[in-house]
Amino acid sequence: MKKITYVFRSFLMFFAVVAFAQAQETEAVKEGGHTNQSKFRQLYQEFSTPNSYRSASGAPGPNYYQQQADYKMDITLDDKNAKIYGEETITYTNNSPDVLEFLWVQLDQNVRTKDTKSALRNGGGVPLAAPTSSFVSSYMKESFDGGFNIEFVKDANGRPLPFTINQTMMRVDLPTPLASNSQVSFSIKWWYNIPDHTTDRARSGYEYFPKDGNRAYVIAQFFPRMAVYSDVEGWQNHQFWGSGEFALPFGDYEVNITVPADHILDGTGELQNMKEVFSKEMIKRYNQAKKSYDAPVVIVTQEEAEAAEKGFSDKTKTWKLKAENVRDFGFATSRKFIWDMQAVKLGNRDVMAVSMYPKEGNPLWEEYSTKAVALTLKSYSSHTFDYPYPKAISVHAKNQGMEYPMICWNYGRPNEDGTYSDGVKYGMISVIIHEVGHNFFPMIVNSDERQWGWMDEGLDTFMQYMAEQEFGEAFPEAIAPLEAYPSRRGAPAKIVPYMAGDQSFIAPIMSNPENVYQLGPNAYGKPATALNILRETVMGRELFDHAFKTYANRWKFKHPTPEDFFRTMEDASAVDLDYFWRGWFYTTDFVDIGVKEVKKYYVSNEPTKQMKEYMAARNITEADLPPLVYLAAEDSEDYNPELKGKKPSESSQTLNAFMMDNMTESERAAVKEPKYFYEVTFNKPGGIPMPLIVDYTYADGTTKSITYPAEIWRKNDAEVKTVLSTEKEIVGIVVDPKAETADIDTTNNSWPKAETRSEFDSFKAGIKD
Amino acid sequence: MTSRLFIDDLNSLMLKRYNIDAHFETKDQHPMAMQYLEVYFQKKFKLFINGKALEYQILGQKRDTDVVVFFIEAKDVYLNDIYELEVYNALLTDLFDEQQNVVHLKINNQKKSFLLMKDKPSGLLKLD
């Protein structure tokens, strides 16, 4: 967009120069034509063409398909050496109309192999001086020996299958191509070294506790997983570099996990052998928890966990989990875990809200984790669909905020003496809401995270904002003395510093997460704010909520694309939002609307000077004209102080005559006769067209609010004029008075111009007072 | 000048670097927190006008959700005489290798932003 505009402008200037140079001899060259540049044109160029897989309405089409990958796995944890060993059988169903010659499997742990390309993907120069620690980690340390060690890939009859590893993906070649609507089974055996996630910044791994010598494991990406094959991408082929997350097909999982006998474990799916792994006391407590709807019941107490962390069992236990229709699998295990649960009623079903945490998380975790999980399930369900899985687990892992189906890892650690700041508390509640919320986007409404970070992060952050505000309303004592939950993202003003920033560090929301400069505002904050503004300001809650719910229900347990979201939001609301998607999602434009000029007019009997010149030029007299009413501007020579405060019919004879001829006496008495006329010019330095929200204040102190639709900008993107006729004098005009549009510059929002003080100046003034 | 830092990051930094529980912007704020902060800023945040280091002081702070805003003032700056402004901002890069600091400058109606990080902690603005 930017580039086109620029080229277009230079083109015009070129002609202006030519015309000037040749003015004496030839006529001016006519301005050239142009294509449709309206910001309100439809997104036909940006959107892919609807087809039988994906309908123009935004719903799955009649031939929509998706692949299925079912897994049976046996996993063993070697706690002494922090290694995982696994063997799996994948049954892959090809529901596509295509014949597949090979399958692609994802090996995400390979992002940590010694020769990983991931470490080489960010360029950079030699710094003037390097801090010693960074120098050591960059140039002196032996890198971690991570990545999958694949022992075999075999077909259903045990014969080796040829495979090729390309970084974080593995191609398995099939001896006979997999026909449409058919299935293939194959097995893989592997092992890998588990990384320390606290130093490696991995999305899974262990934390080591030097005081008791134990590890707490939060394990994911631990098995070779099928890549997605779809109607939009074919085989997903964007490597795992570290920033972009995952694209995974749905399937059923049966996973047996063998860990030391003194470990407590929970993960995706329902436990199949409770009697083998729970003590009698734990089973009794679990049955209580299933009926406890208002407070969690502790299944493993802190005392029990502290006793367990003093030992190290050489025996093992196998926990058997089974999950249906999930896109991934994760689990957490340690002898350090405290465990609590409560039931949450959703419709006529009960779902378990679960928390697992080492004692280092207390007293914060026992107080708030399960509470936050339960609230999230209720809040998100009310805005989308009832949470369909049997449980949702929040596991405490230092510095983590990472999501998997039914389970997630969350940060929020108190100080060693058990005290914690408000920042730690709200950070912890927020991250739990966010990560549990990811069950909805992308675990169930399963967008392609590798391509579109915002589709899950942005939608989830928007939902998180609503849930946080609802948390504050549900538990006022938990947020006291604050009156509303201090949400970090979602409110329009919070995104202003980002959108006002240097354009060279901003990428459109519609960018791959690997290629953006500031992933937080790009994929989380800006889309969440855009949706919040849509809901509160552009569409209204009723239209927005129905459309958003429609999107969630159309695409639950399916793979939506950005267009499916954009189209559904319009399809279910009858609001054409193409201009909004274009401005907020496809460009780096920002919002800036101001009031530029206000002119006051009075009705006059005399033609204005401009009108007189118009008549003289055309050689016409007043007698030639039909009856006309004239408006004299207050600051012009047409103005006469006697006009002020009079009714229009008193000032204009022609108007009075017209009223006498066409209205009865009683009609004339009832007609409104505004005494003041204003022409207000609003300008728009920002690129995004937004509704123009204006508060007009009258001399008597009363206020009138008018919201002009965004379409007011459709014929002139730079400025618009509007005429107001009022009984009372207008003394003040404010654009976007409640700061609901993320306007980046509010110094131009008021008439008369209000003196605005910078944050610094207000602070300094405060000191002096 | 205003500087915005996440409270949690700042508290972690104070603990790791100076071994104090700073508790910024709470009733338990450590009595030495501002002194350490001043020391830290002078080390990690520098301004050079026309190549000459600028002296500044931190006037105070306020809280904004999960962020602390610090108010910083430098005296005797003559805007019309500036032809070159350099910002060195290595705040928190000692705590996080991937810390990114965004610096917005507005000077004599000219706007410029820098994205500064561990490997590239300085930005230079030349004025016409």
Question: What gap in Å lies between CA A302 and CA A340, rounded to an integer?
Answer: 10
Question: A280: Cβ–Cβ under 8 A, 6 or more apart, which residues?
Answer: none
DSSP string of A305-374?
HHHHTT---SSEEEEEEEEEEES---EEEETT-EEEEEEEEETTEEEEEEEEE-GGGTTHHHHHHHHHHH
CB A458 within 8 A of CB A532: no
B8 in reach of chain A (CB within 8 A): yes
Q: What is the pLDDT of residues B51-69, one digit of tens each?
A: 888 899 898 888 888 888 9
A134 in reach of chain B (CB within 8 A): yes
pLDDT class of A765 with cuts at 50, 70, 90: confident
pLDDT class of A136 with cuts at 50, 70, 90: low
Selecting from A504, A759, A767 the residue whose C-beta is nearest the C-beta of B69 gives: A759
Closest chain A residue to B10, measured at CA: A423
Taking CA A657 as the corner, what is the angle to CA A652 and CA A661, rounded to the nearest 5 degrees?
A: 150
Regarding whether A742 and A689 lie in a shared domain, the answer is yes
Residues of chain B neighbouring A760 (CB-CB closer than 8 A): 1-2, 71, 73
B23 in reach of chain A (CB within 8 A): yes
Q: What is the pLDDT of residues A206-262, one digit of tens each?
A: 999 999 999 999 999 999 999 999 999 999 999 999 888 999 999 999 999 999 999
CA-wise closest residue to A229 among A278, A191, A276, A178: A178
Average pLDDT value for residue range A348-371: 97
Residues of chain A neighbouring B59 (CB-CB closer than 8 A): 763-764, 767
Residues of chain A neighbouring B120 (CB-CB closer than 8 A): 124-125, 127
pLDDT score at A118: 76
- Distance (Å) of CA A425 to CA A374, A420, A537: 17, 7, 31
Residues of chain A neighbouring B33 (CB-CB closer than 8 A): none
Regarding whether A715 and A647 lie in a shared domain, the answer is no
Percent of chain A with pLDDT over 90: 75
CA-wise closest residue to A752 among A598, A633, A635: A598
Average pLDDT value for residue range A29-45: 93
Question: What gap in Å lies between CA B43 and CA A565, rounded to an integer?
Answer: 48
Statement: residue A4 has pLDDT above 80: no
Please check whether residue A233 lies inside any domain of the structure: no
Judge: A125–B115 Cβ closer than 8 Å, yes or no: no
Q: Side-chain half-sphere of A32: how many Cα atoms within 13 Å?
A: 11
pLDDT class of A27 with cuts at 50, 70, 90: low
Please check whether residue A740 lies inside any domain of the structure: yes
Residues of chain A neighbouring B112 (CB-CB closer than 8 A): 502
Selecting from B66, B111, B122 the residue whose C-beta is nearest the C-beta of A427 gives: B66
Judge: A137–B97 Cβ closer than 8 Å, yes or no: yes
CATH code of the domain in which A740 resides: 2.60.40
Please check whether residue A736 lies inside any domain of the structure: yes
Please check whether residue A256 lies inside any domain of the structure: no
Judge: A415–B73 Cβ closer than 8 Å, yes or no: no
CB A69 within 8 A of CB A249: yes
Judge: A131–B118 Cβ closer than 8 Å, yes or no: yes
pLDDT score at A5: 35
A486 in reach of chain B (CB within 8 A): yes
B113 in reach of chain A (CB within 8 A): yes
State both tokens at A137. Answer: 């980690």
Please check whether residue A366 lies inside any domain of the structure: no
CB A5 within 8 A of CB A39: no
Q: What is the pLDDT of residues A397-436, one digit of tens each?
A: 998 999 999 999 999 999 999 998 888 899 999 999 999 9
A31-40, A166-175, A637-646: lowest mean pLDDT where? A637-646
Q: Is A419 helix (H, G, I), strand (E, B) or coil?
A: coil
Average pLDDT value for residue range A83-90: 98
Residues of chain A neighbouring B92 (CB-CB closer than 8 A): none
pLDDT score at A620: 87
State both tokens at A223. Answer: 């098995």
CA-wise closest residue to A692 among A681, A701, A703: A681
The minimum CA-CA distance between A482 and chain B, rounded to whole Å, is 10
Judge: B66–A124 Cβ closer than 8 Å, yes or no: no
Task: Choose, out of A137, A364, A421, the residue to mutate when testing the contact with B (most B CBs < 10 Å).
Answer: A421
pLDDT score at A133: 59
A131 in reach of chain B (CB within 8 A): yes
State both tokens at A739. Answer: 């700061």
From A612, A646, A670, the end of a domain falls on: A670
Regarding whether A720 and A756 lie in a shared domain, the answer is yes
CB A489 within 8 A of CB A529: yes
Residues of chain B neighbouring A767 (CB-CB closer than 8 A): 59-60
Statement: residue B39 has pLDDT above 80: yes
Regarding whether A696 and A646 lie in a shared domain, the answer is no
Judge: A517–B97 Cβ closer than 8 Å, yes or no: no
Average pLDDT value for residue range A501-512: 92
From A670, A695, A711, the end of a domain falls on: A670
Judge: A134–B104 Cβ closer than 8 Å, yes or no: no
CA-wise closest residue to A145 among A116, A113, A167: A113
B positions 48-107 inside 8 Å of A (CB): 59-60, 62, 65-66, 69, 71, 73, 93-94, 97-98, 100, 102, 104
Question: What gap in Å lies between CA A587 and CA A507, rounded to an integer?
Answer: 8
pLDDT class of A10 with cuts at 50, 70, 90: very low
Judge: B113–A497 Cβ closer than 8 Å, yes or no: no
Judge: B65–A767 Cβ closer than 8 Å, yes or no: no
Regarding whether A763 and A685 lie in a shared domain, the answer is yes
pTM: 0.86
Please check whether residue A458 lies inside any domain of the structure: no
Regarding whether A661 and A688 lie in a shared domain, the answer is no
From A648, A670, A692, the end of a domain falls on: A670
Question: What gap in Å lies between CA A118 and CA A111, rounded to an integer?
Answer: 6
Judge: A767–B59 Cβ closer than 8 Å, yes or no: yes
Higher pLDDT, A90 or A7: A90
The minimum CA-CA distance between A737 and chain B, rounded to whole Å, is 21
Statement: residue A769 has pLDDT above 70: no
Q: What is the pLDDT of residues A601-640, one digit of tens each?
A: 999 988 899 888 988 998 888 888 888 899 999 988 888 8
Closest chain B residue to A123, measured at CA: B119
pLDDT class of A13 with cuts at 50, 70, 90: very low
User: Based on the structure, what is the number of domains in chain A?
Assistant: 2
Regarding whether A666 and A640 lie in a shared domain, the answer is yes
A416 in reach of chain B (CB within 8 A): no
Helical axes A562-571 vs A541-555, angle rounded to 10°:
130
Percent of chain A with pLDDT over 70: 93
CA-wise closest residue to A463 among A434, A492, A431: A434
Regarding whether A688 and A647 lie in a shared domain, the answer is no
Q: Which domain holds residue A715?
A: 676-768
For A425, phi then psi, to 5°, come to: -65, -50
Statement: residue A7 has pLDDT above 70: no
Regarding whether A658 and A684 lie in a shared domain, the answer is no
State both tokens at A713. Answer: 């900008």
Statement: residue A189 has pLDDT above 90: yes
Closest chain A residue to B60, measured at CA: A763
Q: Side-chain half-sphere of A249: how many Cα atoms within 13 Å?
A: 31
CB A573 within 8 A of CB A546: yes
pLDDT score at A693: 98
Residues of chain B neighbouring A125 (CB-CB closer than 8 A): 119-120
Please check whether residue A720 lies inside any domain of the structure: yes
A759 in reach of chain B (CB within 8 A): yes
